[in-house]
Amino acid sequence: MKVTVQFEAQLRQVAAINELQVELPDRDSLQSALQCVCDQLGESLHERLLTADGQVRPSVMVFVNDRPVVSSVSEPHQLIDGDVVLLLPPISGG
């Protein structure tokens, strides 16, 4: 399946790209998709996006097809072909 991952704000700067399409096994998890993205785009993206044990950082808001998603080890969110994952990093510029 193909999944699109979109980056905003600092994540876009670190990724140096607006979005990336990745090829994954069917019904793979959100975590696997993000791990795959980090493998392609580098360690500094990994630091901002994922914890040492591969979980999505709680301060990064994740939306799949514009719906909020919370994904954990115990309840991983499964993706399907064509999903669009939007990653919003925490911002607080005032």
Partner 1 sequence: MNNSVPHLSDAEKARYEWQMWTPDVGEAGQQKLKAASVLVSRLGGVGGTVAYYLAAAGVGRLVLAHAGNVKPSDLNRQLLMTTDWLGKPRVESAERRLKELNPFVEIHTTSENISEENASSLIGEVDIVVDAAPLFSERFAMNKAAFVQGKPLVECAMYDLDAQLTTLVPGSTPCLKCLYPEDPPNWKREFPVFGAVSGMVASMAAVEVIKLITGIGEPLTNRMLWVNLRTMNFRTLPIAQRPGCEVCGH
Task: Give me the residues that bind partner 1 (CB under 8 A), please.
Answer: 8-10, 13, 18, 47-48, 57-59, 61, 63, 66-68, 70, 86, 88-94
22 or 45: whose CB is closer to partner 1?
Answer: 45
| Smallest distance, partner 1 to C-beta of residue 9, A | 4
Residues 6+ apart with CB under 8 A from 70: 62, 77
21 or 65: whose CB is closer to partner 1?
Answer: 65
| Smallest distance, partner 1 to C-beta of residue 59, A | 4
Kindly state the DSSP code that residue 4 receives in the 8-state scheme: E
Give dist(CA 72, CA 69) in Å, integer: 10
26 or 59: whose CB is closer to partner 1?
Answer: 59
Residues 6+ apart with CB under 8 A from 30: 56, 62, 64, 69, 71, 76, 77, 78, 79, 85
| Smallest distance, partner 1 to C-beta of residue 26, A | 26
